[in-house]
Amino acid sequence: MSDISIPGVSSKYNTSKLINDLVEVERIRLTNMEEDVSALEETKTTWRQVNRNLGNLQRSAKSLYGFENPFSEKTAASSDERILTASATRTAPFDEYSITVKQIATSDRFLTPSLDRSFRVESGNYTFHIGDEIVTLRYRGGTIDDFANRLSTKGEGLIKATTVRDTPDTQVLMIEAVPTGASNRLVFDDEAITLGLQTGMMREARSSEETISLNNVIENPKTVSGTDAPVESINLIEDGLLVKPQSSLVLPFDKTVIPEEGMVLEYRYRTVDYDENQLTPAQPPGPLWPDVPAGRFQGIEITGTSNAIDIPDGAAWAPPERVEDWNVLNVESSNGTFSLPPLSSSEGFKLVQVNANQLPADITAILLDNRNTHRGIEIADIRLFDPNRQGNLEPANPIGNAGDALIEFRGIEARRPTNSINDLVDGLTINLKRASSDPVDLSITPDTETAKEGIIKFVYNYNQLLTRILVLTSDNSGVIDELEYLSDDERKNLEDQLGSLRGDISLNQMKNRLKTIISNPYPTRAGADLSLLAQIGVSTNASSGNSGGALNFSKLRGYLEIDEEKLDGFMESEIDAVKDLFGKDTSGDLIINSGVAQAIDQYLTPYTQTGGFVSNRISRIDGQIDSTKDDISDYEKHLEDYEADLKRQYGTMEATLNQLESSSRGLDNFNRQQNNGG
């Protein structure tokens, strides 16, 4: 039975091994092609890394001279960041400002007295007005904590409610408006009024509004000295009452008023400037004499004489010596007079609010004493009132009142509803922190740190590209050993690529060209004092760092280094010239055509652009990979056919051999039978 052989299944001739050996020999070409694909893939990866390094360098170079270059960035420095901070964009002018924060913008904040922790809010529609906005919470009833959470969620960005346990058994509820500014008053409506009264957050109003009637003032005008005010010195116009230069006026309340806590004295004013022509008095007319007619007397004609007389020239009118005085307003009290805030020049009306704690215990009148010779003062809408009053209600325990921010900016008062002010100076945003009587100095200067970071990034990307080129074009492992900052993975990656493109002339040409660009001089506004990167502390620095006269070969490979002390000095004193060094318009056509960064960007563009050198190189490699893969696919089919053909041929051969063996055995048997029979 051991001699039985089935072709294609088992073979005593070991044809399967013969076939496999022949196929493996034929497969060598396939293996070579697969290795070629792997090598091409590695080369493609290498060029992609080169392209990434080129792109990083080009982008960092472009950022140093393009429209958004860091040399145009600016920073704002505050002399006291506890009072205000600021930020500046590139559109802000270089300047210094003095700012006094008289008050910051605030919002209404109302607090309840202590409430039992079991206090429940009834169901209903709770409506709150915040300026022009309305928040209505349809509440089904629940605990005070639940109400506060739901109200804060419903009115997010407009109203906020919080509860605080002031004792283990009680809590207080605070409701506050989120937006700041005098126009964003918090007003209760619908069931919110009931809740306010129930919790003691609101109460019946105790104070009333007191005003000064300008019409009543004009009927019997008095100066601050008590005399009758000349009619021509004042003028009641549509917007208010104008008090002309070198005039005064008493503006009395109908009765003595008491500024209670929370009340505000409010008025509006503006200034009216006069020129010399408006101040020059009219020339008085001369005496008028009747004409004397001609007549006849006893035949004699008698003519009248001229009525003209010679009037001696009067002395030329001289304008008064100019007087400038901004301390114009005072309040009159039973205890004397008290100064109100000084005015400032303003063509439009300015609103002034003075809190009750800055006023005397009682007020009888406002005194306007305009000693200015060339300026009139117009005042309007004088009133003493409680801004928190809501109809017949007022907050019982306000811990904050809605108010505008008030600052003095270069001697000019500015009022804003928020503590972030971005419309005083183009490109400057001021953030108010707290009020202070001390002025804060604010300076806008070049953002040297951002510019320095841009230069450091440029140097880093230049060195990264140079490292890549040196590794790819050299067999010297010392190039990698010199790089002490490499991680293990980065080091292995470079070791795998060492010398992989050493025959590529283009990379060596690129390296040499980049070194030339870096070392070339470029025109700047500083002239010869600043025309090289080395002058600002950016150089190869090949001679430094030697020990005992031994040459440091890593410094000869062209890596850039930065002398930060030298760079900082130029950034502080010559930042515009440093900007020119990286990119400058020398022809006046508003196109940057000179500078280190511009030259590198221009040189690298043919390498990095779509359809450029590296892109085409990668495309050619992709073509080679695709072609080789097609060859592999075809050859794999060839191997399949080749193996099948071998199996068929060896199967036929085995069958023939088996037949021959069978015939041979038959003949042998026949011969033995013949011999035995004979």
pLDDT in tens, 463-498: 999 999 999 998 888 888 888 788 888 888 888 889
CA distance linking residue 264 with residue 110, whole number of Å: 18
Q: For residue 133, give Cα distances in angstroms to 136, 157, 189, 193.
A: 10, 11, 13, 17
676: helix, strand or coil: helix
Pair type for strands 295-297 and 300-302:
antiparallel
Indicate the range of 74-78, 405-409, 547-551, 619-623 predicted with least confidence.
547-551
- The answer to whether residues 351 and 378 belong to one domain is yes
CA distance linking residue 300 with residue 45, whole number of Å: 134
- The answer to whether residues 402 and 453 belong to one domain is no
pTM (two decimals): 0.68
Identify the bridge partners of residue 133 per DSSP, sorted by sequence position: 130
Residue 91 in any domain: the answer is no
Nearest partner of 605 among 28, 59, 46, judged by Cα:
59
Nearest partner of 552 among 482, 460, 471, judged by Cα:
482
Cα dihedral value 586, 590, 595, 600, nearest 10: -140
615 CA to centre of own chain: 36
pLDDT at 285: 54
Contact 82, 433 (CB under 8 A): yes
Q: Which two tokens stand for residue 334?
A: 């039973």
- The answer to whether residues 248 and 342 belong to one domain is yes
Q: Which two tokens stand for residue 224?
A: 């601050």
Q: Which two tokens stand for residue 310?
A: 């010679």
pLDDT in tens, 236-268: 988 899 999 999 999 999 999 999 887 899 999
Residue 416 in any domain: the answer is yes
Residue 640 in any domain: the answer is no
Question: What DSSP character marks residue 585?
Answer: -
Q: What does pLDDT average to over the chain? A: 88
- The answer to whether residues 351 and 261 belong to one domain is yes
Residue 35 in any domain: the answer is no
The gap between the terminal CA atoms of the chain, to the nearest Å, is 31
pLDDT in tens, 197-239: 999 999 988 777 899 999 999 999 999 999 999 989 999 988 8
Burial class (CB in 10 A: 0-12, 13-18, 19+), 241: buried
CA distance linking residue 276 with residue 361, whole number of Å: 42
Q: What phi-psi label fits residue 541: left (phi over 0), alpha (psi between -120 and 50 degrees) or beta? A: left
- The answer to whether residues 393 and 455 belong to one domain is no
Burial class (CB in 10 A: 0-12, 13-18, 19+), 629: middle
Structural domain boundaries enclosing 395: 210-278+320-444
Domain count of the chain? 3
pLDDT at 2: 43
pLDDT in tens, 343-357: 988 888 888 889 888
- The answer to whether residues 159 and 126 belong to one domain is yes
Contact 331, 338 (CB under 8 A): yes
- The answer to whether residues 414 and 520 belong to one domain is no
Pick from 204, 221, 245: which residue ends a domain? 204
Is the model's pLDDT at 426 over the cut of 60?
yes
Pick from 569, 600, 631: which residue ends a domain? 600
Contact 507, 472 (CB under 8 A): yes
- The answer to whether residues 404 and 546 belong to one domain is no
Is the model's pLDDT at 544 over the cut of 70?
no
Pick from 156, 185, 204: which residue ends a domain? 204
Is the model's pLDDT at 6 over the cut of 60?
no
- The answer to whether residues 399 and 460 belong to one domain is no
Name the residue with higher pLDDT: 319 or 235. Answer: 235
Contact 127, 116 (CB under 8 A): no
pLDDT in tens, 527-539: 999 999 999 999 9
pLDDT in tens, 39-90: 899 999 999 999 999 999 999 999 999 888 999 999 999 999 999 999 999 9
- The answer to whether residues 265 and 403 belong to one domain is yes
Tell me the CATH number at 427.
2.60.120
Considering Cα of 396, then 400, then 404, then 406, what sign does the dihedral take? positive
pLDDT at 300: 65
Residue 517 in any domain: the answer is yes
Residue 75 in any domain: the answer is no
653: helix, strand or coil: helix
pLDDT at 369: 95
CA distance linking residue 72 with residue 580, whole number of Å: 12
| pLDDT band for position 307 (cuts 50, 70, 90) | low
CA distance linking residue 386 with residue 661, whole number of Å: 127
- The answer to whether residues 223 and 182 belong to one domain is no
Q: Which two tokens stand for residue 309?
A: 């007389």
Beta-carbon-side half-sphere exposure of residue 129 (alpha carbons within 13 Å): 11
CA distance linking residue 457 with residue 449, whole number of Å: 12
Residue 48 in any domain: the answer is no
Residue 630 in any domain: the answer is no
- The answer to whether residues 401 and 274 belong to one domain is yes
Is the model's pLDDT at 543 over the cut of 50?
no
pLDDT in tens, 611-644: 999 999 999 999 999 999 999 889 889 888 888 8
Beta-carbon-side half-sphere exposure of residue 120 (alpha carbons within 13 Å): 7
